[in-house]
């Protein structure tokens, strides 16, 4: 589990801690699926636990020593002496191991986990609850949403779980987290949905489910279930001053995960739309001048050369108010809307240009991978 405000990896004995940080009252009756099961969670856990897996990874990590500049004119004998005492100038490959969790979504062995669990791994091993072990291949991964898709080969159909709708979740609904915290396989914890659409400033696609179900290191990539046994989130991060659970955990919502997984299963990569602008929030002062109650939209700070935005006539200072019919209330609204638009599709972008609202038709480009 990635601790919020901490490095996603922390050294631990024998393991890499990649996954280890209105005015009227209306009575609402919870649906049967989202009420606490009569008699507890034992029957539910017995049904879904065979599909939750333990993931071990191994690989190498570059640990660069500081490069020390020797004074000019130093005698060669002294230079060799000090260089021998100093760390190497280049990165030194260090063996690393890590652990995490995941869950099987297809009988032929597709497994969902976190990108940070398997990132940089040379070997990925998947262990099932019945003790069977399989070598896994990484079909593809998406650092921006921290989702990865693995594949194992088995000679029999594997137990699976299905996705539920994260959009249908309500704050206060009961949820169940399963995984392998600190290597303790098959650990089950329960809690509620504490908040939805949480932005923890970890990236442009933040839209987390917040839960108080205990999530710890090693839970990364594990499923968050509703009481119908459907996966509604992938446990990804925790807010923790000390590295352990304090009841503030974050899961990638299942609606987003399903889209990412489908894209990865197709060709191992993620295709996202590209507009080609740098944006910032509207200030309160500007909002008041424009007659808005609160800031909204995305203010264009810069337009990239040869970008879809430039070709459509967008300029610095324009305020994007809506994208393809969706109102832009905050920056991440625009980021996600553009990313979810197919490249070469035309999108109507409503902007405030020199005090006048106008619509620009933009042909969306393809976002290059971050490491391209």
CATH number of 1-21+34-64+74-270: 2.40.10.120
Residue pLDDT, tens place only, 178-220: 999 888 888 999 999 999 999 888 878 889 999 999 998 889 9
| Averaged pLDDT for residues 170-178 | 96
Tell me how crowded residue 50 is: count the other CB atoms within 10 A of its CB.
16
pLDDT band at 31 (very low <50, low <70, confident <90, very high): very low
Choosing from 146, 173, 212, 263, the catalytic residue is 146
* pLDDT over 60 (residue 3): no
Contacts of 206 (CB under 8 A, 6+ apart): 198, 199, 200, 332
Choosing from 116, 166, 194, 333, the catalytic residue is 116
pLDDT band at 64 (very low <50, low <70, confident <90, very high): very low
Is 116 designated active site?
A: yes
Cα separation, 241 vs 102, in Å, equals 25
pLDDT at 34: 52
Enumerate the domain spans of the chain.
Answer: 1-21+34-64+74-270, 273-366
CATH number of 273-366: 2.30.42.10
Is residue 255 classed exposed, middle or buried when 0-12, 13-18 and 19+ CB atoms within 10 A define those classes? Answer: middle
Is 146 designated active site?
A: yes
| Averaged pLDDT for residues 341-355 | 94
Residue pLDDT, tens place only, 272-318: 999 999 999 999 999 999 988 899 999 999 999 999 999 999 999 99
* pLDDT over 60 (residue 80): no
pLDDT at 75: 60
pLDDT at 186: 87
pLDDT at 51: 96
Choosing from 141, 166, 194, 220, the catalytic residue is 220
Is 220 designated active site?
A: yes
Contact 109, 138 (CB under 8 A): no
Give Rg (Cα) of the chain: 24
| Averaged pLDDT for residues 54-80 | 63
Q: Is the Cα torsion angle 282, 283, 284, 285 positive or negative in sign? A: negative
């Amino acid at each position: 589990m990635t601790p919020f405000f901490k490095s996603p990896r922390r050294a631990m004995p024998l393991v890499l801690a990649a996954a280890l940080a209105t005015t009227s009252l209306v009575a609402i009756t919870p649906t049967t699926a989202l009420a606490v099961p009569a008699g507890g969670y034992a029957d539910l856990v017995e049904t879904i636990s065979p599909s939750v897996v333990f993931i071990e990874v191994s690989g190498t990590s570059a640990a660069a020593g500081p490069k020390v500049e020797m004074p000019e004119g130093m005698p060669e004998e002294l230079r060799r002496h000090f260089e021998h005492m100093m760390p190497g100038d280049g990165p030194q490959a260090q063996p690393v191991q890590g652990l995490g969790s995941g869950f099987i979504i297809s009988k032929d062995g597709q497994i969902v986990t976190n990108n940070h669990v398997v990132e940089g791994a040379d070997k990925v091993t998947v262990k099932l609850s019945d003790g069977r072990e399989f070598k896994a291949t990484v079909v593809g991964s998406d650092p921006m949403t921290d989702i990865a898709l693995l594949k194992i080969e088995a000679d029999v159909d594997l137990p699976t779980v299905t996705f539920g709708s994260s959009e249908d979740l309500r704050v206060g609904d009961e949820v169940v987290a399963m995984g392998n915290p600190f290597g303790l396989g098959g650990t089950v914890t329960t809690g509620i949905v504490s908040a939805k659409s949480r932005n923890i400033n970890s990236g442009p696609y933040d839209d987390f489910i917040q839960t108080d179900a205990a999530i710890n290191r090693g839970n990364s990539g594990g499923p968050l279930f509703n009481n119908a046994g459907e996966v509604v989130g992938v446990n990804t991060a925790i807010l923790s001053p000390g590295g352990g659970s304090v009841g503030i955990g974050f899961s990638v919502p299942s609606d987003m995960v399903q889209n990412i997984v489908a894209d990865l299963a197709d060709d191992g990569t993620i295709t996202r739309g590209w507009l080609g602008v740098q944006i910032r929030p509207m200030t309160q002062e500007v909002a008041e001048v424009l007659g808005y109650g609160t800031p909204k939209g995305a203010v264009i700070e810069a337009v990239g050369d040869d970008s879809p935005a430039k070709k459509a006539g967008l300029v610095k200072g324009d305020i994007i108010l809506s994208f393809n019919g969706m109102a832009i209330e905050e920056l991440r609204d625009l980021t996600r809307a553009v990313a979810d638009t197919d490249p070469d599709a035309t999108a109507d972008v409503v902007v405030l240009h020199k005090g006048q609202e106008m619509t620009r038709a933009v042909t969306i480009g393809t976002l290059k991978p971050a490491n391209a």
